[in-house]
Structure 1
Amino acid sequence: MKTALKWFLAFILIIIIAAGAGGAYIYYGMQPVKASEEVVRVTIEPGMRTSSIADTLEQQGLIKNAFLFKSYLKLKSEGSRFQAGTYDINPGADYDEIIVKLNSGDIVKAEMIRFTIPEGYTVKQMAEILSEQGFVNEDTFLKLAKSPTGIDSQLLADIPDRAEMKFRLEGYLFPETYELKKGSSEQEIINRMFTETDQRLHKIADFEQKLKKSGLSLNEIMTVASLVEREVVVDSERSLVAGVIYNRLAKNMKLEIDATVQYLLDKPKERLMNSDLRKVDSPYNTYLYEGLPPGPIAAPSLKSIEAALAPEASEYLFYVTKKDGSGEHLFAKTYKEHLNNIEKSKATAK
């Protein structure tokens, strides 16, 4: 009897010791690691399982025991709301602090780049300024603008792919201020700008109806908008100038817009001479060819696009810029009136 009692007491003692050792193991394993001010960066990939997250935290030295952390998550019904991303976690954080951080999505903000594309810029000008800022390789940017790849937008199907077009995406990279992740590729930057154009177009009230009513293709509307953008400074004149363009097209008159010649020059001139106007033989040269150029000559603003969609009706066929510094134009119905306006403009020169 005494022997049996001894064995029983020894067994109970072993259980107590084992339970104590197990409790100590669990207690120690759940305690935070040694605190440090030096953060540890951890990345949680999309779709990552909680078991893998626990293993990663242990490997990175942020918890002592992945198994205990996983057990704690099950006990607390946690882990299902963890958000993917990159986190900075200080060693010394306890389980609950780590859980709160991963649930809240308190991720490290990606380093960003910021740039502004002015209204009326050409693809070449965009490539130049982005290259100067170190964001793109100029040649790569221009090649993609000419032969775009990797663009996931239905809008691309509406843009013709013609050999005579200098850049297929000319006029379709929206002028705006952008923020993208540092290290974004030329393709990602172009895709972002192209997507912005698509979104802006469809924010125009009744855009599809206006486009259909115009009887023109999207490319033709964007081309007219680009001409308006390069010709007009004063917003109130945009729809009127668009109307003049349509009036001349209806009468099979050459548009004779200086900006189309400037577009063909390696370096735009401050002032074109008469000898420049017919020097470059290109379908973009509206002094040589009737109709619209093959495509846009610059990135139009939303106001210019709206003007192209809703031109102001008039009988005007000509306009000339006032030389008084206002940026406004004098409009004429006949060539004789136009010549008089040219003299008036010269008389107001400052």
Structure 2
Amino acid sequence: MSTTGDPMGPSGLDLIMDGTSEPDHTPGRRRAERPPRPPWGRRIIALAVVVVLVIAVVVVGGKVKDRFFSSAEDYTGQGTGQVVVTIPPGADGQKIATILYDAGVVKSADAFYQLALKDARFQSIQAGSFNLRKEMSAEWAMRELTDRGNRAEGKVTIPEGSRVGQIVAAIAKNTDITEEELTAALDKPETLGLPAVAQLNPEGYLYPATYEVEPGTTATELLRRMVKKTVDVAKSLDISTRAKALGLTGEEVLTVASILEFEGKLDQDYPKIARVLYNRIADGMPLQLDSTVSYVSGREGDVWTTPEERANPSLYNTYQNPGLPPGPIGSPGEKTIEAALNPAEGSWLYFLATDLETGETTFSNTYAEHVKACKAAFGADTQC
């Protein structure tokens, strides 16, 4: 046996890998040949393709990781300044995150979106406008959006005694509802939920209070809320039953209360003025109230009238017509309604504001006493 290896024969490593210890010289069988290796150029190209694919995977994978798994850019702290952000109905997490980013509230939309995905508080965020700050952390933005105290609803306060025209102006000034929209709603009083006794006249039935008006609230919706508030107060005070005890209707009680809003200034005087009105009605005397006459004139502010106004034949002219006017002359509050339902005991037939600054009022049983009080307060030459 030759000890010289055949240059074309298998090496020791080849034999081990083949599982044999000696060359196979069996007739009819050929030794398995290794496939030829590709040229170096082709191997370099293949290697380059692999490198490119690896780089692509790293780059794309990195972007996916940045989008879904990494910490997005975020501010720290509560932020500064102030900005009003409106969240529309039906907005999802991505939409809200984008709104906050566009408004400068958060540093990136992803910062808030990633928090929204895992934070149960997100489910309590409601549509509406919110007072937020710029450059807030996502955490603080979440806190503020879920705090009802940050809602930026329009607020409108309707003072006691306000008339329909004043109420329209106040709403238009303090909310997104326009005067045109309010006027259009008032032109359809049958849609406002007015009680039958109002005879489709909203005067006196738009309750004076502070109302929060969320974005998107319509004129009809707000006016209906105001009417409902009046109805609710009427029920709580049991106006219907208590009015009957006085020989009045609920509508007449509201009318008296609306007059008290203009003729009185101090709470303790409201029940006394109500008694004067009831005493005069019982005696068949005209009420002679400047407040009802100036209502027809459309004058706001101080209650006074001219001889020409007092000659107006309107049913609201209580100089010309006995009894109460045909309806309220403004929206009464609970104090005056209660005073109309619970008048003071007394035989007064006259009252006079003798101090226009403090609202101090003098009550008299006779006309002579009334004239004396008038001249004492305003001078002997005063026409009383």
State the distance in 1 between where 2:243 and 2:333 align.
17
Residue 141 in structure 1 maps to residue 182 in structure 2: yes
Alignment of 1:110-189 (within 5 A): 110=129, 111-133=152-174, 135-142=176-183, 144-145=185-186, 147-152=188-193, 156-161=195-200, 168-189=201-222
From 332, 351, 354, the counterpart of 1:300: 332
* Residue of structure 1 equivalent to 2:112: 90
Residue in structure 2 matched with residue 107 of structure 1 by the alignment: 126
Match 1:341 to one of 362, 369, 373: 373
Question: Structure 2 counterpart of 1:116, which letter?
Answer: T
Q: In structure 2, give the amino acid aligned to 1:200.
A: V
Amino acid at match of 1:262: S
Is 1:289 the counterpart of 2:321? The answer is yes
Q: 1:76 maps to what in 2?
A: none
Distance 1:94 1:324 in 2: 60
In 1, the alpha carbon distance for the partners of 2:96 and 2:356 equals: 72
Where structure 1 has 5 or more consecutive residues not aligned to the other structure, the ranges are 1-27, 46-52, 63-87, 162-167
Q: Is the 8 A contact 1:145 1:170 kept in 2?
A: no
Mapped contact 1:226–1:304 kept (Cα < 8 A): yes
**TM superposition shift of 1:209:** 3.4
Contact kept? 1:121, 1:299, Cα under 8 Å: yes
Alignment RMSD (CA, Å): 3.5
Q: Which residue of 1 aligns with 2:50?
A: none
- Give the share of equivalent positions with the same residue, in percent: 30
Change (3 A) 1:226 1:35: same
Correspondence 1:1-350 to 2 at 5 A: 32=68, 36=72, 90-93=112-115, 97=118, 100-101=120-121, 105-110=124-129, 111-133=152-174, 135-142=176-183, 144-145=185-186, 147-152=188-193, 156-161=195-200, 168-204=201-237, 206-268=238-300, 270=302, 272-323=304-355, 325-347=357-379
CA distance in 2, matches of 1:142, 1:281: 27
Residues 35, 93 of structure 1: 8 Å contact kept: no
Q: Deviations over 1:216-266 (max 9, x none)?
A: 111100000001111000100100100110111111211111011111113
Question: Per-residue displacement from partner, 1:139-195 (whole Å, max 9, x unpaired)?
Answer: 54245446424335xx6233234xxxxxx1111111111111123221112112112
Deviation at residue 326 of structure 1 after TM alignment: 2.1
Which whole-Å CA distance do the structure 2 matches of 1:301 and 1:186 have between them? 22
1:174–1:193 CA contact under 8 A, matched in 2: yes
Tell me which amino acid in the other structure corresponds to 1:193. Answer: M
1:320, 1:338 within 8 Å by CA — same for their partners in 2?
A: yes
State whether residues 262 and 303 of structure 2, in contact with CA within 8 Å, keep that contact through their aligned partners in structure 1: no
Whole-angstrom CA distance in 2 between matches of 1:193 and 1:185: 13
Q: Is the 8 A contact 2:87 2:126 kept in 1?
A: no
Compared with structure 1, are the counterparts of its residues 273 and 194 closer, same or farther at alpha carbon in structure 2 (3 Å cutoff)? closer
CA contact (8 A) 2:297 2:309 kept: no
Q: Conserved in 1, the CA contact under 8 Å of 2:153 and 2:212?
A: yes
5+ residue gaps in structure 2? 1-63, 75-85, 98-109, 130-151
With the length of structure 2 as denominator, give the TM-score of the two structures. 0.61
State the secondary structure of the residue aligned to 2:352: strand
Residues 181/346 of structure 1: CA separation in 2 closer, same or farther (3 Å cut): same
Q: Secondary structure at the match of 1:178?
A: strand
CA change 1:146–1:335 in 2 (3 A) is farther
Secondary structure of the corresponding residue to residue 270 of structure 2: helix
Tell whether the 8 Å contact from 2:258 to 2:328 is kept in structure 1 after alignment: yes
Matching residue of 1:8: none
Structure of larger gyration radius: 2
- Offset of residue 305 of structure 1: 0.1
Over 3 Å counting, the alpha-carbon distance change for 1:108 and 1:245 in structure 2 is same
Q: Which amino acid aligns with 1:107?
A: Q
- The CA distance in 2 between the partners of 1:303 and 1:336, in whole Å, is 31
Greater RCO (Cα-Cα under 8 Å, separation 6 or more) = 1
Local SS of the residue matching 2:159: coil
